Amino acid sequence: MTMLLTSPPDGLTADVHAAATGLPGLDPDEAGRVVAGPVLTGVWPGANAADLRLRAAETAAALVVEQPAYSRLAARLLAVGIADEVRDQGVTSFAESVAAGHAAGLLDDRLALFVATHAADLEALLDPAGDDRFEYFGLRTVYDRYLLRHPTRRTVLETPQYFWLRVACGLSETVADVAAVYPLFSRLAYLPSSPTLFNAGTRRPQLSSCFLVDSPRDELDSIYERYAQVARLSKYAGGIGISWSRVRSRGSLIRGTNGLSHGIVPWLRTLDASVAAVNQGGRRKGAACVYLEPWHADVEEFLELRDNTGDEARRTHNLNLANWIPDEFMRRVAADATWSLFDPKDTPELVDLWGDDFDAAYRAAEAAGKAVRTLPARALYGRMMRTLAQTGNGWMTFKDTANRTCNQTARPGNVVHLSNLCTEILQVSSDDQTAVCNLGSINLAAHCGPGGIDWDALAATTAVAVRFLDRTIDLSFYPTPQAASSNAYWRPVGLGVMGLADVFFTLRLPFDSTDARELSTRIAEHIALAAYDASASLAAQRGPLPGFADTRTAGGVLHPDHFPAATPTRPADWAALRARVAETGLRNSLIVAIAPTATIASIAGCAECVEPVVSNVYKRETLSGEFLQVNRYLVADLAARGLWTTRVREAILRADGSVADVPDIPADLRVLYRTAWELPQKALIDLAAARAPYVDQGQSLNLFMAAPTIGKLSSMYAYAWQAGLKTTYYLRSRPATRITQTTVSVETEAVACSLENPEICEACQ
């Protein structure tokens, strides 16, 4: 946007008129009337031009259900307000913005010197049209949570484009580097994760998203040392995954005192309080996920931690929960066999084993009579399903598949013990290794038009993204030595995607169609090839990762090799890549991971990661407030057919954003615009399974079921395991629903029904 809105309060209508000019679907005169009119009739004492403009932006944003273009109008008004606020601080250039942040103690010396040295060249890179790409929700999120603010006045010191350029400079060594990555940010084509956006170029550049902390040893000092690690990591915006499988169970003898252990629950209560206390400076809540293997004797109490009933002294409300499940458990569920629970004090070897070695050790422990107790495997599985249905927690993650396909587990003793907070990171961890991952995601919507995917642009973006993700490893501040040493040794990164639903809408592909699955898989393969090639180029320039000899790749194994049923569409390119990697090695042990992207997708104005939309019209609640969202693709299609009428809008609103039962909407659109609740979940699992050969870490796969039952869930997660998924994430259900099968006997019966008669499972049809 080239116009500059600086008129006084009585010129607000002209401001809105100017901001609406050129926006498809908006008449500037009408916009001035419906947006500025209500604001001017309610002017309050002391209101100035900035106040009125912000109120006008909020008024416009509330009209997005009628016309999505009002979101862009609101963003334009907000952008002008931000520019005014920055100018009021005496900042009129990018160099002055960085200097102001440096003087306020926010930005580091390296960044300040780099910008001062190259001020003119950097200023020339600024894209004046960049702010026009934001939707209101995205820009408001950037304004409220990401732009640098003066520590005492709390006024912003940078415009959105200064922000993107500052992050680019914070990650760069040369102006040419900045010129490569800044345009991707400005076009919203690729965005790094929130910690990188928060902290690039600052005095504490903690740029990593995820930390995987191994289980404490079964010792008091080790447990408290883990609390301290989690607090330090969470302080700097890291999401935490931590295993607790080594800590002894309830009733276990404590030889030093001749007393009996209270088990893991009291320790997790303390961890829960610590996570709540460290809230990442108020920018987002502290968050952690605890992983437990299902042979641990406290597993049933673990599954109750998030319940809303029962003994409050044995509940945690801030921790997320995940089951770290070996194949042996799932096989016994399928066979309706018994399952044995052990005290890890008696079977410490089980934590560090997987696959055939785990199976043998587990059965040997049973034969030796070490089990604390046994129960039907389906009873415990049913309890897992009930926890998922009631809380969305207790995520199903699969230990053996994660280890079998991990590039870091070539050497015995290197074991993946858990995933991260969002289940997309799978790396080895140990007492002295805290796994780390730096994340970023490509906006697929920015690489797709009516004619299809721009494959060359997608490969180019991937190459730049990998280079800058690798750079974060060297620039990042590590809150613990365990994280610093692990990340330097393995150099993993996690490149993901967002906006897959936008691609399907653009290309008219129903989410559960064969064409959609084939395109999704082709995109994943294309990104993987480009990403591995970029890592090989970095290895040629700077050397392979220090731990390369410990990777499966060093032995000639690439991730797709773990999936013999996969059929790459570009076999010649894979062969060439294999030859190149044999010569140069890789700079990064792991490269691809599909993270949730909840915040950065909002900034980019696209659908989250690889998920379908949850509604065509909905309210989004964040730390920045409440925002109405509307599916602009649906609106454009209906408007083109003359169907975006008051009656249709009201019908969609009454249906909570669903178009499935709106008779005025043609059948082809009702199929295309089904929400996550209306799609068969088998399709989501199949899409993820088809992508899996080209995702060397994991995928944050939410599954959706409005009214979950034990039977449906049992079949769905068994299907996910059989399909070869490494992890799943939340079970999303409608807030008002509650599962009705609550007793063990009914749970077991429902599990049996679903597993023995999978064809009747609605979830997987």
Query: pLDDT of 5-27, one tens digit each?
Result: 444 445 889 889 999 999 998 99
Which pLDDT does position 740 carry in this prediction?
41
Q: Do 225 and 109 fall into the same domain?
A: no
d(CA 132, CA 598): 21
For residues 414 and 433, the answer to whether their CB atoms sit within 8 Å is no
Which pLDDT does position 318 carry in this prediction?
86
Confidence of residue 765 (pLDDT cuts 50, 70, 90): very low
d(CA 147, CA 715): 46
Q: Do 165 and 305 fall into the same domain?
A: no
Q: Do 399 and 290 fall into the same domain?
A: yes
pLDDT digits (tens, 9 = 90+) for 136-169: 999 999 999 999 999 999 999 999 999 999 999 9
Query: In the numeric block, which tokens belong to residue 613?
Result: 């939309």
How crowded is residue 419: how many other Cβ atoms within 10 Å of its Cβ? 32
Q: Do 166 and 226 fall into the same domain?
A: no
Q: Do 222 and 109 fall into the same domain?
A: no
| Candidate from 188-202, 432-446, 509-523, 749-763 with smallest mean pLDDT | 749-763
Establish if 182 belongs to a structural domain: no
pLDDT digits (tens, 9 = 90+) for 37-68: 899 888 888 888 888 999 999 999 999 999 99
492 has pLDDT over 60: yes
How crowded is residue 650: how many other Cβ atoms within 10 Å of its Cβ? 12
Establish if 434 belongs to a structural domain: no
CA distances from 702 to 137, 373, 685, 717 (A): 23, 33, 10, 12
Q: What is the DSSP letter of 32?
A: I
Q: How many domains does the chain have?
A: 2
Q: Which of 404, 420, 453 is the last residue of a domain?
A: 404
Segment holding 254, helix H or strand E:
strand 250-254
Give the residue-averaged pLDDT of 191-201. 94
Establish if 549 belongs to a structural domain: no
690 has pLDDT over 60: yes
762 has pLDDT over 60: no
Establish if 93 belongs to a structural domain: yes
Q: Under 8 Å CB-to-CB from 88, ≥6 apart: which residues?
A: 155
Give the residue-averaged pLDDT of 342-348. 97
Tell me, what amino acid is at 573? D
Establish if 487 belongs to a structural domain: no
738 has pLDDT over 60: no
In terms of residue numbers, what domain contains 317? 215-404
Q: Do 46 and 145 fall into the same domain?
A: yes
Give the residue-averaged pLDDT of 342-371. 98
Q: Which of 374, 404, 434 is the last residue of a domain?
A: 404
Q: Do 222 and 160 fall into the same domain?
A: no
| Candidate from 145-154, 303-312, 342-351, 554-563 with smallest mean pLDDT | 303-312
Q: Do 164 and 30 fall into the same domain?
A: yes
Query: In the numeric block, which tokens belong to residue 482?
Result: 């365990």
Higher pLDDT, 261 or 216: 216
pLDDT digits (tens, 9 = 90+) for 647-685: 999 999 999 999 999 999 999 999 999 999 999 999 999
Tell me, what amino acid is at 169? C
Strands 239-243 and 288-292: parallel
d(CA 360, CA 674): 46
Which pLDDT does position 276 carry in this prediction?
84
Q: Do 246 and 155 fall into the same domain?
A: no
Establish if 752 belongs to a structural domain: no
| CATH code, domain with 360 | 3.20.70.20
Query: In the numeric block, which tokens belong to residue 285?
Result: 């809540």
Give the residue-averaged pLDDT of 281-310. 86
Which pLDDT does position 3 carry in this prediction?
42
Q: Do 315 and 386 fall into the same domain?
A: yes
d(CA 77, CA 136): 9
Establish if 673 belongs to a structural domain: no
Comparing CA positions, the residue from 370, 368, 400, 351 lying closest to residue 218 is 351
For residues 422 and 595, the answer to whether their CB atoms sit within 8 Å is yes
Establish if 335 belongs to a structural domain: yes
Annotated catalytic residues are: 420, 422, 424
For residues 115 and 169, the answer to whether their CB atoms sit within 8 Å is yes
If you average pLDDT over every residue of the chain, what do you get? Answer: 92
Q: Which of 404, 429, 459 is the last residue of a domain?
A: 404
234 has pLDDT over 90: no
1 has pLDDT over 50: no
Strands 259-262 and 210-213: unpaired
623 has pLDDT over 70: no
For residues 345 and 301, the answer to whether their CB atoms sit within 8 Å is no
CA distances from 531 to 15, 538, 590 (A): 45, 11, 10
d(CA 487, CA 501): 33
Q: Under 8 Å CB-to-CB from 185, ≥6 apart: which residues?
A: 164, 167, 168, 191
What distance separates the 2 farthest-apart alpha carbons in the chain?
Answer: 85
Which pLDDT does position 44 carry in this prediction?
83
Q: Do 233 and 166 fall into the same domain?
A: no
764 has pLDDT over 70: no
Strand partners, 289: 241, 320
Q: Do 299 and 395 fall into the same domain?
A: yes
